[in-house]
Amino acid sequence: MGILDLFRGRPSVIEGTGKLAEGHSRKIDIGDPLAGTGRTIVLCRVGGVLYALDALCPHEGGRISDGPLVEGRLAMCPLHNYQFDPRTGKSEGRVCTDAKTYRVREKDGSCEIWL
């Protein structure tokens, strides 16, 4: 754990992320939706690295889908076909606000995500 981790709070631990294939994404729920602390996150594997995006599309509240990534590297919201680079959250191909990204650290087939 680094010194900055002390200021970010405790991470959420997600088991089994090592099984996520290259060029694919998977939705996960973190927190308690009934208490207002729940979030849906899209985990994406690009270039062998795991990245995390908020599933809520910044355009009109659509949901970024899971499954195969566009061209093996872009997450997509099917509502209006907006595409996002999971590494940065930047919109590609169309002008849109960036998707929210989260810090991820993968180790031994699981990951930690700081919300």
Q: Report how many domains make up the chain.
A: 1
CB neighbour burial string for 56-80, b if at least 16 within 10 angstroms, e if fewer: bbbbeebebbbeebeeebbbbbeee
Tens digit of each residue's pLDDT (9 = 90 or more) over 45-102:
999 999 999 999 998 889 999 999 999 999 999 988 999 999 999 999 888 899 999 9
CATH number, residue 61: 2.102.10.10
Rounded CA-CA distance 113/102 in Å is: 7
Q: Sheet containing 67-68: give its strands across.
A: 12-14, 110-114, 101-107, 49-54, 39-46, 24-30, 67-68
Q: Which domain holds residue 73?
A: 5-114
Distance, in Å, from the CA atom of 94 to the CA atom of 101, rounded to the nearest integer, reads 18
* Amino acid at residue number 51: Y
Read off the pTM: 0.88
CB 97 within 8 A of CB 58: yes
